[in-house]
Structure 1
Amino acid sequence: GEGGGVTHAPEPERNHPHRRAAQVSLTIRTMTPDEIGLALDWAAAEGWNPGLYDAAPFLAADPEGFLIGLREDGPVAMISAVRDGTTFGFLGFYLVRPDRRGQGYGWAIWQAAMARLAGRTIGLDGVLAQQDNYRRSGFQLADRHVRYQGYGLPDPAPEPADGTCMIALTAWPFASLAAYDRAFFPTERHAFLQRWIAQPQTLALGLLHGDRLLGYGVRRACREGYKIGPLFADTPDAAEALFGSLCARLPASAPVFLDTPASNPAALALAERHGLRPTFETARMYAGPAPALASERTYGITSFELG
């Protein structure tokens, strides 16, 4: 279905997954760079609507973080198990080829991903129906993320408030951006972030007050329309200014997507104020201690796939 992140849950324990896994013959290895494109194609077939240029920043986040499971007839399963820093990891792209589902391949590659992230706090965005399965693997609910969809604002962006100005993030000192980003992610993510803001067909903006960043946002072209993610801001007004600038002058026919934390009422209000409507929801869950993130300043998460 529509959405992203992790949808095909491990087999429930009552099905004796360890015994099932032993009977499954599956070659699991790291994806090649070309196979990241295949992962995005599979995600698109599920209706997850990946960005057109997501492969490069995703690969930069952890070149060995994407696993593929192979049988004689080619790839049958995949998952991402991206290591961030030394203490955190994130699961995404958990997919089994439709004609191979229910045969134990999902559980086998899930176990490989969990082993790769052993000893870390692990995050994921999973569909709500699978929460119980993830709980069996030690995950606990931390928040809900609601995908909102609507249409851009064809009018020019509103003028920033007095004393503030909008800048292109690629022209701002990266160290300052990375320092700001640390409130919103459990570790630094320099390699990913540098490529995320510099993708083709991407608009990455920061709102400044003097020499201080009040927030930033990124709009990237996707297979359908555009996604805004992340959208981080110190105040609702700053989020409003960034959202308006990111949506300005988009084609009226191009849908816009914003993935908001349900725990931030100002984020939900921003989406609804602009006529966006909820279309999908995920459960943000963690195995291990949940990181302390600035959810009250999060108006849009970066992605369902990498957190």
Structure 2
Amino acid sequence: MSTPPELTVERCTQQEASEIFYKWSTQEHWNPSTKGEDVRDVYFKADPQGFFQSKVNGEVVSIVSGVKYNDDQGWIGFYITSPKNRGRGYGIATFRKAMEHIGLGRASIGLDGVMAQVENYKKSGFTEIAWQNERRNGPITELVEQQERALAEGIAKNEIKGLVNLSDPLVDLNQLSTIEQRFSGLKRPEFVKDWAKFHNHPEKRRFGAAVLSTDGSKDEKSGQPIVLGYACVRPAETSYRVGPLYAATPEAAKQLLVKLAYEVVHAEKQQSYNIPLKFDVDVPNSNQEAVKLFDGLGWKDTFPSQRMWKGVVPPHDVNGVFAITTLEVA
């Protein structure tokens, strides 16, 4: 299929990407992070050449990102065509441009596909399914003040050993990318560091937490405590979005989840941020302990999607993934 002659495909500037990708994903009810700050400050930095927009007569008709993470991995995200221009070949032409940028010979190219598009992605070579995500949604005030009140009170008093803010000097950021590669298969150390730093902004309601070993075990390279799991939360349009939530044990996962909820609820009591006090958590349903955790809280699946790969599925242990980082860029 050739590119429609009236269509031009351009790379986005950082400002264009943060504005357009945020606006369009909001219109699609994807619940993106507020004001496109994640696109501007983290996603775009991961690959400044990987954000594309297509235009007809100067009007943007389609967008997509194609991010290179390393020599053998890339990721497709934000694949949207404006509703009035669908069915004209504009979207697939933009998609192909992003794929060309990543490199068709790359060993692994992934995406999180909405269910309505899964068959179309398979036709484009994304035939390997790693897992299905379930977007679990639930109230966090209830979590902190009722369901896990004892744990939240312990967190408030700093009584939970090993549970710290992600900005704590004891947290070795290099271990975070090792954890992500182990559990999800993604190799993107600089992205992980930027993501952790992005969530060290309590004044913007962005929080990060980690669980450290308390048995004295240390990382061989850094000499810092072993990180058993970490998690982040950020405000979005209609809720707060949690991601990632990586943990070696269900107990650590629960501690991280309640820690993030406590921080948001506590901050809201000081000054409202005018965002519903709910969490959205994209959970691989093949992690039975994760499903059990959120079933136990009564949080329902509101938006399923599939993690799909073209080429090799990177080795991973999904049992440590209690929430993916983000649907937009994995």
| TM, length-normalised to structure 1 | 0.88
Which of 310, 316, 321 pairs up with 1:298? Answer: 321
5 Å-filtered alignment, 1:197-216, equals 197-199=196-198, 200=201, 201-210=205-214, 211-216=225-230
Within 1, Cα distance between the matches of 2:191 and 2:86? 31
Matched with 1:44 is 26
Residue 279 of structure 1 pairs with residue 265 of structure 2: no
Among residues 38, 41, 55, which one is paired with 1:54 in the alignment? 38
Q: Alpha-carbon deviation of 1:130?
A: 2.2
Corresponding residue for residue 135 of structure 2? 147
Find the counterpart in structure 1 of residue 181 from structure 2.
182
Q: Is the 8 A contact 1:148 1:271 kept in 2?
A: yes
Shift of residue 185 of structure 1?
A: 4.2
| Separation of aligned partners in 2, 1:237 and 1:178 | 21
Q: Aligned partner of 1:167: which letter?
A: V
8 Å contact kept, 1:57–1:193: no
Off by >6 Å, runs of 4+ in structure 1: 160-163
Corresponding residue for residue 112 of structure 1:
97
Q: In 2 relative to 1, CA 50–115 (structure 1 residues): closer, same or farther, beyond 3 Å?
A: same
**Match among 117, 120, 128 for residue 115 of structure 2:** 128
AA matched with 2:38: D
1-side partners of 2:206 and 2:4: how far apart? 45
For this pair of structures, how many residues does the alignment match? 288
1:243 aligns with 2:238: no
Uncovered stretches (5+) of structure 2, i.e. residues with no partner: 215-224, 270-275
The 8 Å contact of residues 24 and 105 in structure 1, kept in 2 or not, is answered as no
Q: For 2:3 and 2:233, how far apart are their aligned partners in 1?
A: 44
8 Å contact 1:186–1:293 — kept in the other structure?
Answer: yes
Paired letter, 2:211:
L
Which position in structure 2 is the counterpart of 1:27? 8
Structure 1: gaps of 5 or more residues: 1-17
3-state SS in 2 of match to 1:175? helix
CA RMSD, Structure 1 to Structure 2 (Å)? 2.0
CA distance change for structure 1 residues 254 and 24 in 2, over 3 Å: closer, same or farther?
A: farther
What amino acid maps onto 2:328 in structure 1? Answer: E
| Structure with the higher strand share, 1 or 2 | 1
Any conservation in 1 of the 2:77–2:111 contact (CA below 8 Å)? yes
